[in-house]
Structure 1
Amino acid sequence: MGAGAARVDIGSILRGARCAARLTQAQVGQACGYSASAVSRIESGRMRLDYSALARFAAVLNLPLDRLTATPVPDGSAVDTVERPSDEEDAVRRRELLTGVLAAGTTVVAGVAPAGAASGSFDPAAGLEDALFRIPSVAPVPVGRLVQRVAAARADFCAARYSSLGRALPGLLAVASATRDVSSGRAREQAGVGLARVYVLAAELALKQHNDAAWVAADRALTTARASGHPVPIGEASRVLAITMRRSGRSPAAVRLLGQEAADLDVGRSATGAVRTTLMLTAAYTAATGRDRATALGLLDEAQEEAERRQAVPGLFTVDVSRTQVDVYRIGVLNALGTPDEGVKVAARLDIDRMPTAERRARAWTDTARMWHALGDQPQTFAALRRVEREAPQEVRRPALRALTADLLYQPARVPGVREFAARTGALPG
């Protein structure tokens, strides 16, 4: 930067805009492809941003980009700075970047895709809100048939067929609700478990798309699961509700909820013990997003001990329990704590191909991509993103991954193939 260039207190400006918009660090981070802890470091001036990242933050927070590149600090001190490229060099690149970020970021901040958005507007959860608030009257089905339909919906989720799941869920919610309401005795319990699990799937899908319908679906999942009296669906519903709480910046409360539910489960039984382990893993990541390192690592270690005793057994409706699953969570925890370098050795021993579902394998590669991105290794980041696409093409089109791809696209050191990947996955406007 030249001697006469202005310096800006980028962190203070970003923090003020975020607070004015009533957004948490986690929400802004999700929109921009950063962890909540990274946003905290940016706001405190301990982490620098390049021009492309500044453009994404400006777009998500509705800030004029000039405020981040030309506003002097009042006391004239030298704080976090960025050099602005000339208009002649970067005009096209800047327009493309801002358009792409707005398409990806609006879903996170507002909970809906922008009207008329191009290919980046992929949101299979878009119809959930109407379905949750306007469940139509339909005929019930035999409980056995309902169980089969719930299993088919779960198969869509595990295979990351999110479009198919999004189409099926509204009708399945109506059928499950009607069947539960007309049933009695054992059949009513089974239908109640089925309905709770449909709500869990709705919450999972909405969470992946950063859709506000997750709150309603998760709350109804837990209410319905408690009415069924079965501990496993109660654990499944508690997990998705805790994730919605974490996304809204309520990490400590989410950790407490998960801890209370885990304490109520019988560790000696295979099914409930496995559920307890998965709740501890979710609690570990949640504590990490709240920057509670001691709690996060303690929960991880305890979950690992239990997973090793059980070997690989089914856990929650959508998550299994295994040493590999614990390692994936460990990478995510270390990313959230701002120490991704500690995850490199963990990633080296991962055998992701042995994970049981495409959705879980894609999630593992996602956390690996975030680790390499935080470490500044763009080729490794891109390699991991390509593995996400190979496992689950619809997974890589989620808002958080489109934001990560957009950031990779506009790094100074270009990685061959990224532009084509971005266009294919919706991170680059068509």
Structure 2
Amino acid sequence: MRNHPEQLVIPRDLWEREAVRRALAERDVGMLFRHFRRYTGASQTAVGARVGLAQSDVSEIERGIRAVTSIDVLTRVAVGLGIPLSRLGLGGPPSATPPPRDADRAGSAATLAAADREDDVRRRDLMAGALGLGAGLTVGAGASAAADPGTGDPAAAMERALFEPLDVPPARLADLHASLSGARQDFVDARYSALGTALPGLIATAEATRDATTGRARERAQAVVARSYVLATELAVKQHSEAAWATADRALTAARASGDPRPVGEAARVLAITMRRAGRSRSAVDFLARTSASLEPTNGSDATKAEARAARVCLLLTAAYTAASGQTRGTALDLLAEAEEIAERLPDGPARGGLFTIAASPAECAMYRISTYNALGSPDEGVPYVRRVVSGRLPTTERVARFATDTARMWHQLGDGTRAFAALQTIERTAPEELRRPALRGLTLDLLYGPRSIPGLRSFALRTGALAAD
């Protein structure tokens, strides 16, 4: 039985425990909530009452759906849970802000939500270039991680490089393309730490090469710059880093300057994912639909046309999941049907994927069916599509892990913890770095604290870092 919220006993050393200190350093409020609840027995409702949030808000934060970046919200989290303000990098002594009264806690949710909406506006301004690129990062978890290389965050070095770029000489375009291919391989093989280490040098060299060239050579260098920032955004999204806004904006700017529609499509896709994560699903769907339509080929070789149509499929699949995230079911299913119809007519071969990190294939469409139904809250509709995907035939390690993630979420929503855990074990065998992502750590803990005991799950949670060792 859980303790009543007014009778919680907070261990004296709670904020000194290694995993909790790491969450504090990263300003990972979702993990802080989980640790607090684990060691005090508090419910999500009780935590929400202490910090002025609804239970649904606490749930979304714990699951990584919503990030806390507002200083006001961070301060209330610290005060409500008894965390010294300095531990979250906030000014003033712990007693500087008086604890909120019960009535204040109950009535403050609207104020806190408004603060988060203001941060969303700030991030949108960042995307448009209206603010300096540092504005959106100085208050988020990414900034803290970037300042401390020891946090284990694969995106940390990349984030630092955005504002402290390396001073490197230009390179030959052939060498740039080789480095880009290596970085993409790190991503599709789910080697995120290696990718985070490689990206700063790749981006700096690509930008130096672009600045040292003119004409067609400059356009080709712009394409490498764009694709480097696309990979940076992919990494930032996986790590729930605020840097995704800056990298996506830079990717699209460079892609448009390259004159090549392929990097434009890639950059549009990662920018839309970033918009979706900020709660702007409708705008993201519209943006993806417009970009997809602009890629419809009217001339060129058969190979060129096939490549453009494959890019359209990738954008339509992303748009479908984005629409589902915004709970617009009809739009989501229409977009899926359009993507599937185009994918069925594509020839086998490189045109199905190109440099996109997802492939325009029937298997990919089936995977997006599963994730879309998960987002729509009807996971049972995704079950028949599991049989349409042969995990061993998926093109990359990252996609194998993605399929296992989607099926784990599906089984979890359906109440089958055993099958959900089996899917997580598949990820551990194929792409162990995936399990360090906040969303999968959250899923692991959801299963661990669920109503049924699953043999081996606790040791799995300890082994993969979801649960801190006592």
TM-score with structure 2 setting the length: 0.70
- Residue 172 of structure 1 and its aligned partner are, at CA, apart by 1.0
Pair 1:9–1:184, CA change in 2 (3 A): closer
Alignment of 1:274-285 (within 5 A): 274-285=310-321
Corresponding position of 1:237:
267
Q: Distance in 2 between matches of 1:257 and 1:274?
A: 18
Do the aligned residues in 2 keep the contact of 1:32 with 1:404 (CA within 8 Å)? no
Do the aligned residues in 2 keep the contact of 1:285 with 1:296 (CA within 8 Å)? yes
Corresponding position of 1:301:
337
Corresponding position of 2:195:
165
SS in 2 for 1:349: coil
Do the aligned residues in 1 keep the contact of 2:344 with 2:362 (CA within 8 Å)? yes
1:151-201 CA deviation, whole Å, 9 max, x = no partner?
100010110111111111111111010011111222212211111000001
Question: Which of 141, 144, 164 does residue 110 from structure 1 map onto?
Answer: 141
Alignment of 1:377-392 (within 5 A): 377-392=416-431
Matched, 1:189 2:219: yes
Matched, 1:291 2:291: no
Do the aligned residues in 2 keep the contact of 1:235 with 1:316 (CA within 8 Å)? no
Q: Which moved more, 1:414-423 or 1:362-371?
A: 414-423
- Residue 134 of structure 1 and its aligned partner are, at CA, apart by 2.1
Alignment of 1:12-411 (within 5 A): 17-18=52-53, 31-33=61-63, 110-111=141-142, 122-267=152-297, 269-312=305-348, 313-411=352-450
Pair 1:302–1:429, CA change in 2 (3 A): same
Letter matched to residue 282 of structure 2: P
Q: Distance in 2 between matches of 1:60 and 1:405?
A: 23
- Residue 311 of structure 1 and its aligned partner are, at CA, apart by 4.7
- Residue 9 of structure 1 and its aligned partner are, at CA, apart by 11
Q: Distance in 1 between matches of 2:78 and 2:411?
A: 26
Q: Distance in 2 between matches of 1:29 and 1:5?
A: 17
Q: Distance in 2 between matches of 1:355 and 1:414?
A: 32
Q: Distance in 2 between matches of 1:145 and 1:316?
A: 17
Q: Distance in 1 between matches of 2:44 and 2:178?
A: 57
- Residue 258 of structure 1 and its aligned partner are, at CA, apart by 0.5
Q: Distance in 1 between matches of 2:190 and 2:5?
A: 49
- Unmatched 5+ stretches in structure 2: 7-42, 67-75, 83-101, 107-138, 299-304
Pair 1:11–1:241, CA change in 2 (3 A): farther
1:53-103 CA deviation, whole Å, 9 max, x = no partner?
xxxxxx9898669xxxx99xx9xxxxxxxxxxxxxxxxxxxxxxxxxxxxx
RMSD, aligned CA: 3.4
- Residue 32 of structure 1 and its aligned partner are, at CA, apart by 2.4
Q: Which moved more, 1:160-169 or 1:342-351?
A: 342-351
- Greater RCO, CA 8 A, separation 6+: 1
Q: Distance in 2 between matches of 1:35 and 1:174?
A: 31
SS in 2 for 1:321: coil
Do the aligned residues in 2 keep the contact of 1:277 with 1:307 (CA within 8 Å)? yes
- Residue 35 of structure 1 and its aligned partner are, at CA, apart by 6.4
Letter matched to residue 110 of structure 1: A
Letter matched to residue 302 of structure 1: E
Q: Distance in 1 between matches of 2:460 and 2:224?
A: 38
Q: Distance in 1 between matches of 2:144 and 2:466?
A: 14
Do the aligned residues in 1 keep the contact of 2:188 with 2:397 (CA within 8 Å)? yes
Letter matched to residue 287 of structure 1: A
Pair 1:338–1:17, CA change in 2 (3 A): farther
Q: Distance in 1 between matches of 2:344 and 2:217?
A: 36
1:215-248 CA deviation, whole Å, 9 max, x = no partner?
1000000000000010010000001011111101
Q: Distance in 2 between matches of 1:378 and 1:305?
A: 34
Q: Distance in 1 between matches of 2:424 and 2:267?
A: 29
Q: Distance in 2 between matches of 1:323 and 1:365?
A: 17
Give identity over the alignment, percent: 52
Letter matched to residue 138 of structure 1: V
Q: Distance in 2 between matches of 1:62 and 1:245?
A: 31
Do the aligned residues in 2 keep the contact of 1:135 with 1:174 (CA within 8 Å)? yes
SS in 2 for 1:215: helix
- Unmatched 5+ stretches in structure 1: 37-58, 75-107
TM-score with structure 1 setting the length: 0.76
1:245-273 CA deviation, whole Å, 9 max, x = no partner?
11011111111110110110025611111
Q: Distance in 1 between matches of 2:194 and 2:414?
A: 36
Q: Distance in 2 between matches of 1:265 and 1:241?
A: 17
Corresponding position of 1:105:
none
- Residue 17 of structure 1 and its aligned partner are, at CA, apart by 3.9
Letter matched to residue 360 of structure 1: R
Q: Distance in 2 between matches of 1:35 and 1:380?
A: 23
Count of residues in Structure 1 that have an aligned counterpart in Structure 2? 360
1:361-393 CA deviation, whole Å, 9 max, x = no partner?
101110110001111111000000011111211
- Residue 129 of structure 1 and its aligned partner are, at CA, apart by 2.0
- Residue 5 of structure 1 and its aligned partner are, at CA, apart by 12
Pair 1:381–1:144, CA change in 2 (3 A): same
Letter matched to residue 332 of structure 1: S
Letter matched to residue 405 of structure 1: T
Do the aligned residues in 1 keep the contact of 2:306 with 2:347 (CA within 8 Å)? no
Do the aligned residues in 2 keep the contact of 1:122 with 1:397 (CA within 8 Å)? no
